[in-house]
Amino acid sequence: MALVELEGVSKTYRQGKLEVPALRGVDLEIEAGEFTAIVGPSGSGKTTLLNLIGCLDVPTAGIVRLAGRELSRLDRNALADIRREKIGFIFQSFNLIPVLTAKENVEFALALLRRNGAGQVHGEQVTELLAEVGLAGLENRRPGELSGGQQQRVAIARALVKAPAIVLADEPTANLDSENGRAILELMRAMNERRGTTFVFSTHDPMVMEYSRRIVTLQDGRVVADERREPDAAPHPARCS
């Protein structure tokens, strides 16, 4: 059974009297452990697709399943619980909580998990994870005191700390220079290989596509191409920090 299953998924936004279709009958399966890029021009439905998989939105038609659970049948609290337990997010603008330190930002995701009676990671492990993403010694800095690349590493640690089933990254390199972008991609690839975490990106960035093992192309809300690449075809992570 695939980790993510989309069957005939459509999503239409209403802007006043105007109906804007974002996705039109998308069928897609993503297996656990994949490192997948969703690509396509602006307005093709990439972010909408990610939002549907990430339980941030519900489809107008069709079925979305995550780990076998049909998401459209769940209420808002149940969707929030799935997000806190099974999904990690990485955003283009990093979206760290500005008043919390790097370590506290990571602990925040963990604190939410603990409220559900789950999550056994301790403070030292958060520090270790931050070191693993290359932020040793920067744990107590606030986002405003970190570079864009460092902030994105904190976001990656925040996404991974709860050992999610899937990490959804929306244009994760868009606000980074190429050097930092590459480092971040290598880090995520390393985490994918080391931890087996599933990564799904939406991106315009050719470098992300270069690293991906599967590239799903959207156009006008439809999947127009689905290319799987051999592991060797993608650059191998040379470093983790």
Partner 1 sequence: MPLLIRLAVRNLWRNRRRTILTFGAVALGIVYLILVDSLLRGLTQSSIDNLLDFESGDLQIHAPGYFDEREDLPLEPALPVDRLINEVRAVAGVRAAAPRLVAPARLHAGWEEFPVVLVGIEPELDSGTLRIMDYVEGRAPENGAAEAMIGASLAELLEIGTGDWVVLTTRTRDGAIQALDVRVTGLVRTPNPNVNRNHVYLPLNTLGESLAVPGEATVIVVRAGAGESLKELARRVGEHLAAAGTAADVYTWEQSNAELVALIRTETVSDGLVIAIILAISLVGIANTTLLSALERRREIGTMKALGMREGEIVGLFLLEAVATGLLAVGTGFAVGAAANAYLVAVGMDISAFFGDLDVGYPVTGVVYGVWHPQTFVLAGAAGLVTCALAAYLPARRAARQDAAATLRP
Residues in the interface with partner 1 (CB under 8 A) total: 36
What is the residue whose two structure tokens read 């602006």?
42
x/- site string to partner 1, residues 114 to 143, per CB under 8 A?
-x----------------------------
Q: Which of 5, 34, 81, 132 binds partner 1 (CB under 8 A)?
A: 81
In angstroms, rounded to a whole number, what is the distance separating the alpha carbons of residues 117 and 120? 9
Q: Is 108 a binder of partner 1 (CB under 8 A)? A: yes
- Residue placing its CB nearer to partner 1 in the complex, 14 or 230: 14
Q: Is 103 a binder of partner 1 (CB under 8 A)? A: no
Q: Which of 107, 139, 186, 205 binds partner 1 (CB under 8 A)?
A: 107
Q: Is 204 a binder of partner 1 (CB under 8 A)? A: no
- Residue placing its CB nearer to partner 1 in the complex, 15 or 137: 15
Q: Is 92 a binder of partner 1 (CB under 8 A)? A: yes
Q: Is 57 a binder of partner 1 (CB under 8 A)? A: yes
Q: Which of 113, 166, 169, 200 binds partner 1 (CB under 8 A)?
A: 113
In this structure, are residues 40 and 56 in contact, taking their beta carbons and an 8 Å threshold? no
Q: Is 10 a binder of partner 1 (CB under 8 A)? A: no
Q: Is 80 a binder of partner 1 (CB under 8 A)? A: yes
- Residue placing its CB nearer to partner 1 in the complex, 171 or 205: 171
Give φ, ψ of 30 to 5 degrees: -125, 125
- Residue placing its CB nearer to partner 1 in the complex, 132 or 170: 170
What is the 3 state secondary structure string of the chain? CCCEEEEEEEEEEEECCEEEEEEEEEEEEECCCCEEEEECCCCCCHHHHHHHHCCCCCCCEEEEEECCEEHHHCCHHHHHHHHHHHEEEECCCCCCCCCCCHHHHHHHHHHHHHHCCCCCCCHHHHHHHHHHCCCCCCCCCCHHHCCHHHHHHHHHHHHHCCCCCEEEEECCCCCCCHHHHHHHHHHHHHHHHHHCCEEEEEECCHHHHHHCCEEEEEECCEEEEEEECCHHHCCCCCCCC
Q: Is 77 a binder of partner 1 (CB under 8 A)? A: yes
Binding residues for partner 1 (CB under 8 A): 47, 51, 54, 56-57, 76-77, 80-85, 87, 89, 91-93, 95-100, 104, 107-109, 111-113, 115, 158, 170-171, 174
